[in-house]
A and B are shown apart, each in its own frame.
Chain A
């Protein structure tokens, strides 16, 4: 199937508008509450592979954008599902029961952005052990100050690195 057919099919089935960004690349913007329903439909239409999940921090708008990158082996099409949630106490339904590979992505994003994926079985820490700060990929996390106080508090030499920056 071509992207136009698939886009039409998804549109008829879910009522969402699918943008064709370029050849064989599509994106769709969905409500965070309708996400799971949409994902089930997408999987039925052949998008059996979830390549990645990512979060973008739009701090000015007070929102996180969560992106799900889907791939259809049978049609050779990529579909990006975009959804937005508030960035204070972010929480969204997990899709790990739809695509098992989502589990590790969601676990990582929980660690780096603090997003609570409701329904994910294991959101324990992955790379950061005993992290008690703001999740490090949030834009309001002052990593420069953190690094300075954590590693360079007694150093004269390395302090120079930071002063050059300004």
Chain B
């Protein structure tokens, strides 16, 4: 209830650009769908990083894809929030000894928030989203 009141005071909706090139999208799909439904909080996946406030990077990134992710991040209007979703973005996950995947996302992109789990529960993702809202409020 307290959170719902806070949400009313939000200055703007948080639009999300997804950059998933591993299993990540299937992990966040329940949150996009109707059961957990992030859209009721005003979070919409947008088609261009230039419209986005939040970048969700899910799973491991390869050496090739992290360069694209950096390029996407540079295109986003600042301030922008970057979320690393899942264990792989934090430590490489099961690809910890792969020659072609990066191990920690924050070595390459300024990450504001990691959501751990393999996969993260939708509740964990919602909790992460809630902390973005708090962040937005604090800066409002």
Contacts and interface: CB of A to CB of B under 8 A. Distances in A.
Interface of A: 127-129, 136, 143-144, 146-147, 150-152, 158, 161-162
A105 B15 CA distance: 39
A145 to B, nearest CB: 10
A161 B98 CA distance: 13
Contact of B62 (A127, A144, A147, A161): A127
A144 B99 CA distance: 8
Interface string B85-97: 0000001100011
Contacts, number: 29
B64 interface: yes
Given A151-B102, A151-B103, A158-B103, A127 B64 contact: yes
29 contacts: A127-B62, A127-B64, A127-B100, A128-B63, A128-B64, A128-B100, A129-B63, A129-B64, A129-B67, A136-B99, A136-B100, A143-B97, A143-B99, A144-B97, A146-B99, A147-B97, A147-B98, A147-B99, A150-B99, A151-B92, A151-B102, A151-B103, A152-B103, A158-B91, A158-B96, A158-B103, A161-B96, A161-B97, A162-B97
Nearest first, the 5 A-B pairs at minimum CB distance are: A151-B103, A143-B99, A129-B64, A147-B97, A136-B99
Interface residues of B, number: 13
Contacts of B102: 151
Interface of B is mostly: loop
Interface in B27-74: 62-64, 67
Nearest to A142: B99
Contacts of B64: 127-129
A8 B99 CA distance: 46
Nearest to B98: A147
